[in-house]
Each structure stands twice: as structure tokens, then as C-alpha cells.
Amino acid sequence: MLTLKGKSVFPGITIGPLALFHRNTISTAQRPIQDAEAEVARFQDARKVAIEQLKDLYEKALEKVGEEQAAVFEVHQMMLDDDDYIDSIEGQIRDEMLNAEAAVDRTAQQFAEMFRSMDDAYMQARAADVLDISRRVEQQLCGGPGVDFSKYDHVIIAADDLAPSETLQLDTDKILGFVTSAGSTNSHTAILARTLGIAAVVSTDTPLHTDVDGMMAIIDGLTGTVYINPDEETLQAMEAKQREEADRKRRLEEVRGAASETKDGRSVKIFANIGNPGNIPQVLDNDAEGIGLFRSEFLYLENSDYPTEDQQFEAYKKTAEALGGKTVVIRTLDIGADKQVDYFQLDKEENPAMGMRAIRICLTRPELFKTQLRALLRASAFGKIAIMFPMIISVDEVKQCKAILAGVRAELDAEGVAYDKDMEVGIMVETPAAAIMSDELAKEVDFFSIGSNDLTQYTLAIDRQQTKLDAFFDAHHPAVLRLIQQTVENGHKAGIWVGICGELGADLTLTEAFLRMGVDELSVSPPLVLPLREKVRSLDLRK
């Protein structure tokens, strides 16, 4: 038996035969050319076909996983349109008389190495993206067929790594799971696998070869362990664990429609986090009581220019109406950091997570901010919308936001446009500054939503996407928990409700602690709503 240890992407347990993932061979060897312009034309034709393929993949992803996850294929299209990328390839063809395949491959390796050498983990992960788009172009230049995904039927796929486009094309009704020697839990591939519900373990650091092809394998997504050719004892133990997981899923159905309340009567609202209206079916299917975090930046990420007021209004209105009177907390624009948009023309920053992002952009570009606020206010007439400002660090910022909002309200009043005059306005507490100043900030707003991901990152001074620092990262660090408790206490003293919308909200080992702190609402990824409700209902805070 071979036992591999990696990082779990999705907490499922699956058992089945192992199948090595085979990509068709692509030749990128250098060969002499006679006509550089004809070779440039070959490259351009292949690039255009690749872009059309990515557009098709985007539409497929939009249907299967929603806008937020589909956006990776828009990013890939933009990378293929990047002037530096194109100039590098065409320059090598013309200046060195390189064939297009070799020029694309050389440029891909150069760009990938550039990304790998960056300090930022998000940018390091882009190395896989540039290799993915380049392989797509090379495939077109070689004229060969792509990967035949239909032959992977009821198997566990083993690969060095899977590109996002490859993961999306896996038939989730047939694929049992996958294991990769490379990869990261922050990669687009991992995010897609989680969204699609594919049991997977990545980063095992152990390449697999033909000698294990066809062997029985087990993925334990609960522990990040892979067993290949398991002995009888291990197989029986994992089959029992698999049955326990199936029983657990059946038990979850018993809490569907039940109150999110402890045995001693302590209630908490369990909301869902979503990235776009395409995720609404998941919210409803998983019985969330509302939406605690609607990330509005998808409207900006999917556009080639600033979205209009009406575009935004339609998206917010659709969401509010679909929730049928349940609360929808919409976070205003949070572009910047790991979400860059070319047409914003933001300056390059050494540390974008601490630079021009979120509310800082809105306050320095008030017309942009007003457009979004107008759309939000208009949509509030069609459901229960609440507005939430991100990345707040001071009372003055909140007052500036409220002043701009008041001006927009006055404009709508003058135009006779209906909106919810009692709409709640809150802030995200995701900086230590906001947590420490929460007693003063609470006087200005109707609610707090604690963004635990950034709060942890900024409190510990550790980039949450920098996997090399995992040994130092502690999401349960006492400093983080103290800031959360302080925020809850200060919010309640001012008579406002306090929620958590970051990953800690879904951490079942902290649920009891959060309820004892007095947290009023927990907002999590839709598939985690029922497990969280089950946990809440199992607690008795009198003990």
C-alpha cells in the first residue's frame, strides 16, 4: 500500500480505480522557418481560436459554477490579449526566425518564471495560468486533438496538476475524484473542484507513474490522505468512514427548514456568501436564511468598462426578488488586492492588499461610488437589501460614505424614485483598526459584519494566500478571537447586530465560542449552511 499525504480540496471520501491523466503530446521544438510574417499569422490564428474556446468555457463555467468562478476564463482571455505576451512571441518569430510553437513555449516559460519569482502568492499562482493559455495556443498550432475526457469514467484521476480548463471539463457524474502531486488549495483548479463538489487532494509532492495505473485508490478528503492499493484493513475502515459520511449527509436533511437555535433557545441567523446572482439557486437549495455577503465586484470583473447604473440595478433587483423578503447584505465595490481590473488603471503596488482598494477607491472616485449607491437604493424597493462598506479603518471614512449616500438619497427623492428609506447600512470589520475602534464605529452604523479572512491576515501580518507561511498561520490565534469578541461586545453596547462572513464563520470548532461571544449571524458558503445549522442545534450553552 502506498500512502500519500497532501492538502484536501473537498471533504469527500471516494474509492475507485486510479487513472493517470494523459495529455496529447505537443511538439514545441525549434525548427527553421522561411517566412516570419506567415508564422506570425499562424500564431495569431491559433490565438484567436484559443480565445473563442475560452469564451465557450466561460459560458459553460457560468452555468455550472457561477460568475465568480467562471471569471478565471475571462482572465485567460485577457492574458491572451496582453500586449507584452503577444509582442514577446511575435518579436521572437521575427527577430530570431523561430517557429510559432517554440516562440509561444519560450514566452510561456519566461512569463511563468517571472510570476513564480514574485513575493505575492496570488501572482505566483498565475504561473499556472500563463502555461495553461500557452498550451491551448500550442495545441492549435500543432493541429492535434485535445484531451479526450470521455474516457475517464468512474475513476480517480492522477495528474501532476490540472489546469482550470481541464477541471471544468471533467464530467462530475463520472469522475470520482482527483489527486495531484503539485497544485495549491488556493488555485483556480482547487476552487473549481470545491464548487463542483469533486473529492480531491492536491500537493502530495509524489508524482505517480504507469505502475499504479488501474490500481484501487482511496481519497480521504477529510484528512488529505490518498491510499493506493490499500490493504484489506484500510479498505474496510475507509468504507465504514464513507458510510458514516453518507449517514451524516442524510442527517443534514433533517435540519432543513428547522430553526437555527441551540437546545437552550439561543438563536443565530445562518446566511450565505455569494459572488453573483448565478449562485442564488445554491442559496435556496441549501436553505440559507438570507445572504450575508453579496460580492458586488463580479459586475466590474466581467465588464470591459465600468458597469452602468442599470446593469447593476438589474443584478441587485434580481437577487432581492429571488430571496423573497429575506435579507441580502451587499458589499460595495471591493476591487484591488487580488482582484485587479485593467480599466480601473490602478497603479502597480508592491503590496496591493494594503494599497488602493475597496472603500479607498470609492472615496477617491465618488462618481463611481454614487453610481453603485443609486443602483443599490433603487433595488432596495424590490426586497430587503442592506449595504455594507468594506475595508473601513476610521469613523471619518464611515461619515464620508454616509454623506455620499445621503446625497444620492436626496437625488432620488427629487426624482421621485422609490427606495427603502429604512435600509440598513453597515460596515465590514476586517482591519484591526476597525475592531479596536468598534465602540466609536458602532454609533454610526446599523450592523457590523466581521470579515475574518482579512482580519486574520492583517492581525497576524501573514498573507493568507502565501502557502509557504502555513506553519506560522493560526486562524484561531487569541489576538484574532479577542478582536472578534471586542467587536461583538461594542456592537451590542450600541444596540446593533454583529455577524461574521469570513471562513471562520464556517469553522465548526469555533461555533460554540462565537455563540457564547454573542455573535448574531454567521454567513458561510451555501453548501456549509446545513452542517452549521446542525452544529448550532447540537449545542447547549447552559453546559
Residue found under cell 495553461: 132
Find out whether 454 is annotated in a ligand binding site.
yes
Following DSSP, what letter does each residue of 192-230 receive, concatenated? HHHHHT-EEEE-------GGGTT-EEEEETTTTEEEES-
Residue found under cell 491572451: 80
If asked whether residues 82 and 43 sit together in one domain, one would say yes
Number of domains in the chain: 3
Active site residues: 188, 501
12-16, 36-40, 65-69, 455-459: range with lowest mean pLDDT: 65-69
Beta bridge partners of 385: 328
pLDDT tens sequence across 73-132: 888 888 899 899 999 999 999 999 999 999 999 999 999 888 887 765 566 777 888 888
Q: Is the pLDDT of residue 421 over 90?
A: yes
CATH number assigned to the domain comprising residue 186: 3.50.30.10
Q: Where among 142, 157, 192 does a domain terminate? A: 142
- Angle subtended at Cα 161 by Cα 160 and Cα 162, rounded to the nearest 5 degrees: 135
If asked whether residues 444 and 299 sit together in one domain, one would say yes
Q: Where among 84, 114, 142 does a domain terminate? A: 142
pLDDT of residue 121: 59
Name the pLDDT band for 466 (thresholds 50, 70, 90): low
CB atoms within 10 A of CB 479: 14
If asked whether residues 288 and 170 sit together in one domain, one would say no
Identify whether the C-beta of residue 260 lies closer than 8 Å to the C-beta of residue 538: no
d(Cα 292, Cα 386) in Å, to the nearest integer? 9
- Which of 7, 13, 69, 11 lies closest to 506 in space, CA to CA? 11
pLDDT of residue 120: 58
Name the pLDDT band for 225 (thresholds 50, 70, 90): very high
Mean pLDDT of 520-542: 94
Identify whether the C-beta of residue 275 lies closer than 8 Å to the C-beta of residue 312: no
Identify whether the C-beta of residue 490 lies closer than 8 Å to the C-beta of residue 442: yes
pLDDT tens sequence across 157-210: 999 888 877 887 777 778 899 999 988 776 778 877 877 778 899 989 988 888
Return the SS3 of 317: helix
CATH number assigned to the domain comprising residue 71: 1.10.274.10
CATH number assigned to the domain comprising residue 474: 3.20.20.60
Mean pLDDT of 372-397: 97
The edge-to-edge listing of strands for the beta sheet with 156-159 is 2-5, 225-228, 216-220, 13-20, 156-159, 177-180, 199-202, 7-10
pLDDT of residue 465: 58
Q: Are strands 447-450 and 425-429 parallel, antiparallel or unpaired?
A: parallel
Helix (H) or strand (E) holding 16: strand 13-20
Q: Is the pLDDT of residue 336 over 70?
A: no
Contacts of 350 (CB under 8 A, 6+ apart): none
pLDDT of residue 339: 57
If asked whether residues 107 and 191 sit together in one domain, one would say no
pLDDT of residue 126: 77
Name the pLDDT band for 483 (thresholds 50, 70, 90): very high
Find out whether 453 is annotated in a ligand binding site.
yes
Q: Is the pLDDT of residue 478 over 90?
A: yes
Mean pLDDT rounded to a whole number for the chain: 89
- Structural domain span for residue 221: 2-23+148-234
Contacts of 329 (CB under 8 A, 6+ apart): 271, 290, 291, 292, 293, 294, 385, 386, 387, 388, 426, 449, 501, 523
Alpha-helical runs (H) found in 66-82: 67-80
If asked whether residues 456 and 487 sit together in one domain, one would say yes
In a domain, 322, yes or no: yes
If asked whether residues 431 and 449 sit together in one domain, one would say yes
In a domain, 253, yes or no: no
- Which of 342, 337, 327 lies closest to 360 in space, CA to CA? 337
In a domain, 288, yes or no: yes
pTM: 0.67
Find out whether 126 is annotated in a ligand binding site.
no
If asked whether residues 174 and 122 sit together in one domain, one would say no
In a domain, 242, yes or no: no
Burial tier of 490 (Cβ tally within 10 Å: 0-12, 13-18, 19+): buried
d(Cα 210, Cα 235) in Å, to the nearest integer? 22
Name the pLDDT band for 57 (thresholds 50, 70, 90): confident
Name the pLDDT band for 226 (thresholds 50, 70, 90): very high
Q: Residues of 385-405 as b/e, b for ≥16 C-beta within 10 angstroms? A: bbbbbbbbbeeebbebbeebb
If asked whether residues 187 and 311 sit together in one domain, one would say no
Q: Is the pLDDT of residue 338 over 60?
A: no
In a domain, 57, yes or no: yes
If asked whether residues 354 and 405 sit together in one domain, one would say yes
Counting every residue written for the chain, the total comes to 543
- Which of 278, 271, 247 lies closest to 67 in space, CA to CA? 278
Ranked by mean pLDDT, the top range of 33-42, 162-171, 173-182, 459-468 is: 33-42
In a domain, 489, yes or no: yes
Ranked by mean pLDDT, the top range of 47-56, 295-304, 405-414 is: 405-414
Q: Is the pLDDT of residue 431 over 80?
A: yes
If asked whether residues 429 and 449 sit together in one domain, one would say yes
531 — alpha (psi -120 to 50), left (phi > 0) or beta? alpha
275-284, 395-404, 486-495, 518-527: range with lowest mean pLDDT: 275-284
pLDDT of residue 447: 98
Identify whether the C-beta of residue 502 lies closer than 8 Å to the C-beta of residue 453: yes
d(Cα 381, Cα 417) in Å, to the nearest integer? 9
Identify whether the C-beta of residue 322 lies closer than 8 Å to the C-beta of residue 284: yes
Q: Are strands 216-220 and 13-20 parallel, antiparallel or unpaired?
A: antiparallel
Q: Where among 123, 142, 161 does a domain terminate? A: 142
If asked whether residues 223 and 308 sit together in one domain, one would say no
In a domain, 245, yes or no: no
Q: Is the pLDDT of residue 44 over 90?
A: yes
In a domain, 543, yes or no: no
If asked whether residues 153 and 138 sit together in one domain, one would say no
Name the pLDDT band for 480 (thresholds 50, 70, 90): very high
